[in-house]
């Protein structure tokens, strides 16, 4: 998704389509990304379009927080999303906002993978990757 699209009015934001839904929400398949905060914020909200007051997830690009994060997306997921190269994919991770905020974590085991061209999306499960579902966004000293 381009920066221009992220800054657009919510009614103009592109729709992401999860053909199989998300784990725990199989019937919720249409979402949009809405920036959380100003243009410098690394966070967005993945907001359901299928259900009024439906599920919303805070998400972020993993790069700023986990520069070495390089998950291997399985062939089945890549095929379903029609990914032909790594450049076709946009990776997002779901954030669990902690209290205090510095205790927030990211799910590196189940990244959201989006085809940048078609906006088809899926949550990948990385199996025996060694990644965790609750990886600290801010390292503890």
- Which CATH number covers residue 92? 2.30.290.10
**Range(s) of the domain holding residue 78:** 3-136
Would residue 126 count as lying in a domain?
yes
| Contacts with 75 (C-beta within 8 Å, 6 or more apart), sequence order | none
Nearest C-alpha neighbor of 62 from the set 140, 141, 132: 132
Place of tokens 């994919």: 89
Average pLDDT, the chain: 88
Work out the pLDDT band at 109, boundaries 50, 70, 90: very high
Tell me the H-state helices in 12-111.
75-80
Q: Evaluate if residue 1 carries a pLDDT over 60.
A: no
Would residue 141 count as lying in a domain?
no
Q: Evaluate if residue 2 carries a pLDDT over 70.
A: no
Would residue 49 count as lying in a domain?
yes
Overall domain count for the chain:
1
| Vertex 75 angle, CA 70 and 77, to 5° | 80
For 123-141, what is the mean pLDDT? Answer: 89
Determine the Cα–Cα distance for residues 30 and 44; give it in Å rounded to an integer. Answer: 16
Residues in the chain: 141
Q: Evaluate if residue 73 carries a pLDDT over 80.
A: yes
Determine the Cα–Cα distance for residues 92 and 107; give it in Å rounded to an integer. Answer: 9
Would residue 121 count as lying in a domain?
yes
């Amino acid at each position: 998704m381009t920066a221009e699209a992220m800054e657009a009015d919510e009614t103009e934001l592109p729709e992401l389509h999860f053909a199989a839904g998300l784990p725990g929400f199989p019937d919720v398949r249409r979402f949009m990304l809405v920036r959380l905060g100003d243009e410098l914020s690394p966070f967005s909200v993945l907001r359901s379009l299928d259900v009024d007051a439906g599920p919303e997830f805070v998400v972020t690009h993993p790069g700023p927080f986990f520069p070495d994060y390089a998950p291997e997306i399985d062939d089945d997921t890549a095929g379903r999303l029609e990914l032909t190269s790594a450049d076709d994919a946009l990776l997002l991770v779901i954030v669990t906002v902690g209290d205090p905020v510095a205790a927030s974590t990211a799910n590196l085991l189940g990244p959201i993978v989006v085809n940048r061209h078609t906006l088809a999306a899926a949550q990948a499960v990385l199996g025996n990757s060694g990644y965790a579902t609750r990886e600290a966004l801010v390292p503890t000293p």
